[in-house]
Structure 1
Amino acid sequence: MKQLVQNLKTGETILEDVPIPQVRRGQVLIRTRRSLVSLGTERMLVEFGKASLLAKARQQPDKVKQVFDKISTDGLVPTLEAVFRKLDQPLPLGYCNAGEVIAVGEGVLDIRPGDRVASNGPHAEVVCVPRHLVAPIPDTVSDEEAAFTVIGAVGLQGIRLLNPTLGETVVVIGLGLIGLLAADLLRLNGCRVIGVDPDETKRQLAREKGIQTVPPADDTDVVSYVMAQTNGAGADAVLLTASTRGDELISQAARMSRKRGRIVLVGVVDLSLNRAEFYEKELTFQVSCSYGPGRYDEAYEQQGHDYPLPFVRWTENRNFQTILHLLSTGQLDVKPLITDVVPLTDYQQIYARIGQSRSIASLLQYAETVEQRTTIFLPDHHYGGMGDTKNRPIVGIIGAGNFTGATLLPALQPTGAALRIIASAGGLNGTLLAKKFSIAESTTDYQQVIQHPEVDLVIITTRHNSHARMTSEALRAGKHVFVEKPLVIFEEELPGVVAAQQESGRTVLVGFNRRFAPHVQRMKTVLGAERSGDVPMNVIATMNAGFMPTSAWVHDRTVGGGRLLGEACHFVDLITFLTGSRVAAVCMNAMGSRPSETADSASLLLRYENGSTGVVNYFANGSKAYAKERIEVYSQQRTLVLDNFRSLKGFGFGRFSGLKTRQDKGHAEQFSRLVHQLRTGGEPLIPFAEIVNTTQTTLAALRSLREGRWVAVEEISMDQPETIMAV
C-alpha cells in the first residue's frame, strides 16, 4: 500500500510503498477513501524540514537546551549522531481519515467490516486505528464531509474549554480551517462571533456563514474594533486558532477581552504573556489539547478503557460523534470549505505549494482497491548490501522502534551479518529502516520472521510483554535469539522460555551490552580475570535514569513491567560479570511510603554466592546535567570508578591509572562477537544460566519490595550443554 511521510531532515514529502498493518486487539483496520490535509499542521512540518539546521534550532529552543545538556554528559559526537538520527526519521502525515472497515480486532464488537468510519488515521491506503479513535459515519454524510470529523473535533474541544453561553461575544483569531469550523460551531451555540484574519478570502467565507469579521482596512485596530462592537465591555471570550511566531496575538487577545474574560489557545503562538494585561482583568488562559479528554492517554486510546459518560461527558470519541451528527443534520456545512480533491498519487499538487497555498481544505482521494500485502520485497536492498550469504548468519528482526534504528542496526550492519527481513506493527518504520540498512523484506507479520526458512538469528526489540512469547516461538522454530532486555516480565513466563531453550538447544542472548563495553572489559582485566570469582568485591552501580512520565508504556506493569525490571537488569548482569559470581539473594527498597512494583527510584542490595556485594541505585529524580551512569568497584585496597562509559579511573593498581574514550556502552562489540560466534560456534557469550539468574534476581527484587524482606534467588537447572554450532 501507499503512505505519505515527511522527511524532517530534507523537507521532502514522499509516497512510500509499505506493507499493510495487521489488525490488533481493540483496533480497527480501515481502507481509506478520503483524507483531509491539515494545511496548518502539515505546512509547519514541511517548512521545518526544509529549514536549515540553524533555523530548526531557532524554532525549538527547548530542544537546543536538551542537546547542550546531553553534550555535557555524553560528549559532542554521540550527541550530534543522536540529533541527526532523530532528524532522519520520517514522520507519517495526516490525522483526518474517512474510509471503510475491512477488519476488526478482538474485543471490538460495535463496528463491523463494511462500515464507513471516520478516524485519526494518517494519509495511507490502509490504516489501523484504536477503537476509541474511530466513529461510525451516518448514511447522510459523504466521505468528503466525514474527513472533516477529527479537525472539527479539534475546534470543538477548544470551544468546550472556552465554555461559551448563549448571547456571548466570542472573537476567533485566525480563520483557517479550524478557525472557520470553530466560528461556525460557536454561531450554532448562539454566540455572536467576530472573526479576525488578514486574508480576505477567509473573511468572505466567514461572512457567508453569518459570521461578522473585522473590516479589511489596513489602519483598522482590531482591539478598538472589538471594544466598539461590545460597547466598551470587551469580548467575553477569545479563541486563538492562528499559527504564527511572536506573542502579539496573545497580547491582542488580552487587550480585547472583558474583565474576567476567557482565552483559549488552539493554534500555535509564542507564549510570552504580559502579566499586567492578564492581572488587571483577572483573565483566564488555557491551552487546548487536540481532540478532547482521552488524547495521549494510553489506557483510553490503546487499551480501550472509556471514561464514564456521567463524569467525563465529552471524550475525544464523543467529540467525533458530535461533529458527525452536526454534519448529518446539515447544521454544520463543510462543503464550501473544500478547495480541491486530489488523487493520492498526485499529492505533490498540494504539498509542492503548501507554503504558498491559499487553500482552505484539500482532500486526498484514494483508489477503490488496494493490494493488501503484509510483506513487501525491496529488490535493491538484498542481504544488507553484502552480496553472497555464504558463512554469514542470516538475521530477521522483530521491532522497528527507536532503539532498533538508532542503536541496534548501526551496530549490527558492520558485522557482516545478512539482514534478511524486518517486522514492524505498522509497516512504515520497518520499511524505512529496510531501505536505510539494505534489508531485503519488510513485513507486518512477525511470524514471517520466525518461520522464515533462511533466517538463523531472530532479534526481538518489541515491547517487553511480548519478549517471552516471541523468544519461545523463535526457539521452537529452530532459531537462535537475541532479545532486548528484559527476557520476561512475570515469574510464570520464565519456565516456558527455559524449556524452549533446553528443547531447541539454540542460544539465547539478552541485550546486556554493558559487559562488552571497552571500559568494562578493561576493568575485568585489571581486576584479575584469571581469578574471576575467587576474590569477593563490592560493586556500586548508580543510574541517573531521569524522569519519565507515568503515562509511558514502560510504567505499565503488564506491558513494560516497570523501569526497574526493564533496565536495572543491565546492572545486575554487569555486577555479575565483574564479580564472576551469581546472585544468591536480593533486597530492594523504593522511594515513597507505599512504593509500587513500577516505582523508578529504588536501590537493590545483592548478595553473591562468592561473598561479593552489589548495590544497584536506579534513580529517576536526579539532574539531567549529571552523568547518567557511574560504576564503582572496591577490591583488595584497589578502586575503579567508571564515569558514564567515557572515563575509567584506577586507584591502587600500579601501572593502570585510567582510560578515556568516546562514550561506548558495548553495543558494537556485543553484535560483533555474536555474529562471529554464530559463524564459528563455541561457548555462548553469556551463559544462559547467568541470564536466567539475572532475570530471577530482578523478579525476586519485586517480591522483596512487596514483602519487605530479603528474597533468595531460585535456581532453574540447565540440563543441556551450552555449545553453539556454527550456522
Structure 2
Amino acid sequence: MKQVVQNYKSGELALLDVPAPGCKPGGVLVRSAFSLISTGTELMKVSEAGMSMVGKARSRPDQVAKVMQSVATNGVPATYRKVMGKLDSYTPLGYSLCGVVEQVGAGVDDVKVGDLVACAGNEHALHAELNWVPTNLYAPVPDGLAPRHAAFGTVGSIAMQGVRQGDPRLGEVALVIGLGLIGQLVVQLLTASGVRVVGADPDPGRCELAERLGAVACGDPGSTAVKAAVAELTDGHGVDQTYLAAGGGSNQPVELAAELSRDRGRVVDIGKCRLDLPWNAYYEKELDVRFSRSYGPGRYDPEYELEGRDYPIGYVRWTERRNLACFLDLVARGRVDVEPLVSHVAEFDDAVETYQRLKEGELKAVAVLFRYPAQPPESERATAPAVTVPAVPAPRRPAARAAASASPVRLAFVGAGNYATSMLLPHLAGREGVELATVVTTTALSAANAQRKFGFAEATTDLDAVLGDPSVDAMFVVTRHSSHAELTRKALLAGKAVFVEKPLALTEEELAGVVAAVEESGNDRLQVGFNRRFAPLLNEAKQQFGTRSGPASLRYLVNAGRLQHGSWYLRQGTEGSRFAGEGGHFVDTASWLLGADPVSVYATAPAGDEDLQIVLGYPDGSTATLSYVTTGPGSFPKETLDLVADGKVLRFDDFVRAAVYDGRRKRVVGSRLPQARDKGQNAELAAFVRAVRTGGPMPVPLESLVATTAATLAVRRGLAAGAPVTLAGAR
C-alpha cells in the first residue's frame, strides 16, 4: 500500500510503498476514502523538518534535554546512534480521515465490514491507503453524511474540545483569534451554542469566510474594527471568552486577549502560539487561562486509546470518541458546514506535490483533502510459596545447518523499535555471514524504515509468512514485553533459532509455555538478550578476579531512574512490572559472576513496589543483593557492583571503570571513556550468530535462562507473601 511519509533529518517528503497493516484485536482495518491535511499542525511539522540541526534543536528544547540525559547514562556513541536513527527515519503524516471498514478485529461489535467510519490519531488515522484503528479512535458516520465531510472529524473534535474548555453560555460574546481551519470550526460551534463571535485574523479572505459562517464581525488583530465590534457587542465590558487558535512566534494574540477580555474572562489556548502572558494585564482582570488538550479526555492515555478502556459517562461525559461522534452528528444535521472550508481536493497520488505547493505558498488553503482510489471489488483484493522452576527437557536438537560455512545465516526481526534499531541492527547490518532477510512489524512504516536503513530483503506485517519460511534460520523477537513468550513459543515450534529480548516471560504460566514448546519441538535454540555478561570490561574484571573457593557476597545497585509519563513500561496491567521487564538483566549478571543459578529469592519494597531490595541465595551459600531504585538522581551512575570473596573485591562502575583489590594491591582492570560504554550487545550477537551457523551450543544454557526468568518473576510473589521464596527444582 502507499503512505505519505517524511524524513525528519533531510525534510524529504515521499509517497512510500509500505506493507499493509494487519488487523489486531480491539480495532478495525480501514481503507481510506478521504483524509484531511491540517494546514496548521502538519505544515508546522513539515517546516521543522526542513530546518538545520541547530534549528531543530531550538524548536524542540524538550528533546535536547532528553538527549543530554541519554548521553550521561549511555554515552555519546549509543546516544548518537539512537538520535540519528530516529531523525533519519520516515515519520508518518496525517491524523484525520474517513474510510470503509475492511476487516473487524476480535472484540469489536459496534461496526461491521463495509461500514463508513471517521478515524482519529496521529498513529492510526494517517495519510495511507489502509490504517488499523483502535476502537476508541473511530466513530460510525451518520447516514447521509458525505465521506469528504466526515474526514473533518478529528479537527472538528479538537475545535469542540476547545469550545468545551471555554464553557460558553447562551448570550455570551467570544473572540476567536486565528481563523485557520480550527478557528473557522470554533466560530461555527460557538454560533451553534448561542454565542456571538468576533474573529481576528490578518487574512481578509479568512475574515470574510468566518463572517459567512456565523461571526458577527471580523478583522485584522491590530485593527480598530475588532476592538470596536467587541465594545459594541459587550457595552464596553469585553468578551466573556477568548480562543487562541493562532500559531507562530508573535505574542500579539495573548496581549489582544487580555486587552479585549472582560473582568474574570476566560482565555482558552487551542493552537500553538507564543504564551508570554503579560502579568499585570492578566492579574488585574484575574483572567482564567485554560488549555485544551487535543481531541478531549482519553487523549495520550494508552489504556483508553490502545486498550479500549472507556471512561464511564457519568464521570466523563465527553471523551475524545464522544466528541468525534458529536461533531459528526452536528455536521450531518447541518449545524456545522465544512464544505466552505474545502479549498482543494487532491488525488492521493499527488500528495507530495500538494505538500510542496502548500509549503511554498503556491496553494493557499484552509483545508485540503486527499481523495483515495475507489475500493476495488472483493474478488480483486489480495487477501510466595515455593515457585517451581520448569524442568528443561532433553532436546531433540535439529541438525546443524547444511553447508554452514558457505551460506549466510538468514535472520528475521519481529519488531523494529528504538532498541532494535539503535542497539541490535547496527551490529548486524553488514556483518559477514549474516543476511537480514525479513522485518515484521505491526505498523507498516516502521517495517519500511528498517528495510531502508538496514537492508532487509523484505518488509511485512505478516508474522505467519516468516514463521513458515524455511529459509529463515533465526528470528529476533524485539517487541513489547507482553508478546515475548507467545512469539518465542511460535518460533520454537516453527523450528527457528530464537533471540528474544528480555523478558522471556511475564508470568510463570508463560514461562512454562515456552519450556513446553521446547519439549514438543525438541528445539532448544534459544537466547535471551542478557547482554551484560558479554560486556568486555566486565569480562576482563571477572578474569582478573579469578576463581574463588568460598562463598561470595555481591552487591548490585541499579539506579534505574524515573520513567517519562506515558511510557509503555508503566502499563503494568499488560506489560508487567518494571522489574519483571528488565530485572532479568541484573539477576543474570549476578548469577554469571557467581557461576550458579539462584535457589531462593527474598524481596522487600521499602518505598513501594518500584524501589526494591532483593536478596538472591545460591547453592554454595553465596548471596547477591540487588538494590533496584527509581528515586535516585540522574547524575549518579546507573549500575555499580561489588563482588567480595576470598579476601578479594571486584569493583565495577557502570561499564566505565573496574578494579580488583587483592590484599594491599589494587589492579585497575581497564577503563572506558564514559562516551564509549560497551554493554556487550556486539559480542552477544556475535556469539548467537556463531551458534546458529555452526549448530553448536547457545551462548547461555537454556536451564540458566529459565532459572533467571523464574527468579525475576518470584520477586512479585515474594513481595506479596512477605517471605523468602524457594525456587524448587533450581540447580
* TM-score normalised by length of structure 2: 0.91
User: Distance between the aligned counterparts of 1:552 and 1:613, measured in 2?
Assistant: 33
What is the Cα deviation at residue 389 of structure 1? 9.4
Counterpart code for 1:201: G
In the alignment, which residue of structure 1 is the partner of 2:623?
613
Q: Is the 8 A contact 1:553 1:559 kept in 2?
A: no
What is the Cα deviation at residue 280 of structure 1? 2.0
Indicate the SS of the match to 1:583.
coil
In the alignment, which residue of structure 2 is the partner of 1:456?
473
Indicate whether 1:415 and 2:415 are aligned.
no
What is the Cα deviation at residue 415 of structure 1? 3.2
Counterpart code for 1:363: L
In the alignment, which residue of structure 1 is the partner of 2:672?
660
In the alignment, which residue of structure 1 is the partner of 2:392?
none
User: Distance between the aligned counterparts of 2:667 and 2:636, measured in 1?
Assistant: 30
What is the Cα deviation at residue 349 of structure 1? 3.1
What is the Cα deviation at residue 205 of structure 1? 0.5
User: Distance between the aligned counterparts of 2:256 and 2:405, measured in 1?
Assistant: 67
Pick aligned residue for 2:638 from 628, 634, 659? 628
1:88-237 aligned within 5 A:
88-120=88-120, 121-216=125-220, 220=224, 226-227=230-231, 229-237=233-241
In the alignment, which residue of structure 2 is the partner of 1:80?
80
Q: Is the 8 A contact 2:475 2:497 kept in 1?
A: yes
In the alignment, which residue of structure 1 is the partner of 2:245?
241
Indicate the SS of the match to 2:710.
helix
What is the Cα deviation at residue 96 of structure 1? 0.8
Pick aligned residue for 2:322 from 300, 307, 318? 318
Counterpart code for 2:525: T
What is the Cα deviation at residue 209 of structure 1? 1.4
Q: Is the 8 A contact 1:389 1:418 kept in 2?
A: no
In the alignment, which residue of structure 1 is the partner of 2:366?
360
Counterpart code for 1:631: L
Q: Is the 8 A contact 1:537 1:613 kept in 2?
A: yes
What is the Cα deviation at residue 301 of structure 1? 1.6
In the alignment, which residue of structure 2 is the partner of 1:275?
279
Indicate the SS of the match to 1:15.
strand
Q: Is the 8 A contact 2:15 2:352 kept in 1?
A: no
In the alignment, which residue of structure 1 is the partner of 2:69?
69
Counterpart code for 1:166: L
In the alignment, which residue of structure 2 is the partner of 1:327?
331
* TM-score normalised by length of structure 1: 0.92
Counterpart code for 2:455: S
In the alignment, which residue of structure 2 is the partner of 1:724?
none
Seen in structure 2, the aligned counterparts of structure 1 residues 367 and 190 have a Cα distance that, compared at 3 Å, is same
Higher mean alpha-carbon deviation, 122-131 vs 87-96, is at 87-96
User: Distance between the aligned counterparts of 2:87 and 2:612, measured in 1?
Assistant: 34
Counterpart code for 2:460: T
Q: Is the 8 A contact 1:693 1:715 kept in 2?
A: no
User: Distance between the aligned counterparts of 2:157 and 2:532, measured in 1?
Assistant: 47
What is the Cα deviation at residue 58 of structure 1? 0.9
Pick aligned residue for 1:526 from 536, 544, 547? 544
Pick aligned residue for 2:713 from 677, 699, 706? 699
Q: Which has the higher contact order (CA 8 A, sep 6+)?
A: 2
Q: Is the 8 A contact 1:485 1:567 kept in 2?
A: yes
In the alignment, which residue of structure 1 is the partner of 2:554?
539
What is the Cα deviation at residue 578 of structure 1? 0.8
Indicate the SS of the match to 2:108.
coil
Counterpart code for 1:236: D
CA-to-aligned-CA distance 1:34-60 (integer Å, 9 cap, x gap): 000111111111111100001111111
Q: Is the 8 A contact 2:208 2:218 kept in 1?
A: no
CA-to-aligned-CA distance 1:390-418 (integer Å, 9 cap, x gap): 33211111112221122221122243311
Indicate the SS of the match to 1:354.
helix
Counterpart code for 2:490: E
Indicate the SS of the match to 2:411.
strand
1:473-512 aligned within 5 A:
473-502=490-519, 503-512=521-530
Q: Is the 8 A contact 2:405 2:693 kept in 1?
A: no
CA-to-aligned-CA distance 1:524-547 (integer Å, 9 cap, x gap): 21121xx36x44322222222222
Q: Is the 8 A contact 2:544 2:660 kept in 1?
A: no
Q: Is the 8 A contact 1:583 1:608 kept in 2?
A: yes
User: Distance between the aligned counterparts of 2:612 and 2:288, measured in 1?
Assistant: 40
Indicate the SS of the match to 2:285.
coil
In the alignment, which residue of structure 2 is the partner of 1:398?
414
User: Distance between the aligned counterparts of 2:529 and 2:349, measured in 1?
Assistant: 42
Seen in structure 2, the aligned counterparts of structure 1 residues 637 and 226 have a Cα distance that, compared at 3 Å, is farther
Seen in structure 2, the aligned counterparts of structure 1 residues 221 and 590 have a Cα distance that, compared at 3 Å, is farther
Counterpart code for 2:292: S
User: Distance between the aligned counterparts of 1:459 and 1:60, measured in 2?
Assistant: 34
User: Distance between the aligned counterparts of 2:217 and 2:282, measured in 1?
Assistant: 25
Counterpart code for 2:702: F
Indicate the SS of the match to 1:656.
strand
Indicate the SS of the match to 1:347.
helix
Indicate the SS of the match to 2:599.
strand
User: Distance between the aligned counterparts of 1:65 and 1:315, measured in 2?
Assistant: 32
Higher mean alpha-carbon deviation, 513-522 vs 608-617, is at 608-617
Q: Is the 8 A contact 1:32 1:124 kept in 2?
A: yes
Seen in structure 2, the aligned counterparts of structure 1 residues 132 and 664 have a Cα distance that, compared at 3 Å, is same
* 5+ long unaligned stretches in structure 1: 375-387, 718-727
Q: Is the 8 A contact 1:37 1:362 kept in 2?
A: yes
What is the Cα deviation at residue 285 of structure 1? 1.4
Seen in structure 2, the aligned counterparts of structure 1 residues 347 and 396 have a Cα distance that, compared at 3 Å, is same
What is the Cα deviation at residue 373 of structure 1? 5.8
Indicate whether 1:556 and 2:571 are aligned.
yes
What is the Cα deviation at residue 290 of structure 1? 1.0
Q: Is the 8 A contact 1:2 1:15 kept in 2?
A: yes
Q: Is the 8 A contact 2:187 2:214 kept in 1?
A: no
Alignment: residue pair count = 696
User: Distance between the aligned counterparts of 1:201 and 1:657, measured in 2?
Assistant: 73
Indicate the SS of the match to 1:273.
coil
Indicate the SS of the match to 1:474.
helix
Seen in structure 2, the aligned counterparts of structure 1 residues 213 and 625 have a Cα distance that, compared at 3 Å, is farther
Q: Is the 8 A contact 1:29 1:103 kept in 2?
A: yes
- The sequence identity of aligned pairs, in percent, is 39
User: Distance between the aligned counterparts of 2:83 and 2:566, measured in 1?
Assistant: 25
* 5+ long unaligned stretches in structure 2: 384-403
Seen in structure 2, the aligned counterparts of structure 1 residues 78 and 400 have a Cα distance that, compared at 3 Å, is closer
What is the Cα deviation at residue 716 of structure 1? 6.2
What is the Cα deviation at residue 548 of structure 1? 2.1
User: Distance between the aligned counterparts of 2:367 and 2:27, measured in 1?
Assistant: 28
In the alignment, which residue of structure 2 is the partner of 1:383?
none
Q: Is the 8 A contact 2:221 2:256 kept in 1?
A: no
What is the Cα deviation at residue 3 of structure 1? 0.7
In the alignment, which residue of structure 2 is the partner of 1:8?
8
User: Distance between the aligned counterparts of 2:693 and 2:699, measured in 1?
Assistant: 13
User: Distance between the aligned counterparts of 2:317 and 2:348, measured in 1?
Assistant: 37
Higher mean alpha-carbon deviation, 441-450 vs 80-89, is at 80-89
Indicate the SS of the match to 2:322.
helix
In the alignment, which residue of structure 2 is the partner of 1:573?
588
Seen in structure 2, the aligned counterparts of structure 1 residues 101 and 479 have a Cα distance that, compared at 3 Å, is same
CA-to-aligned-CA distance 1:332-361 (integer Å, 9 cap, x gap): 111111011111111123211223242101
Q: Is the 8 A contact 1:130 1:304 kept in 2?
A: yes
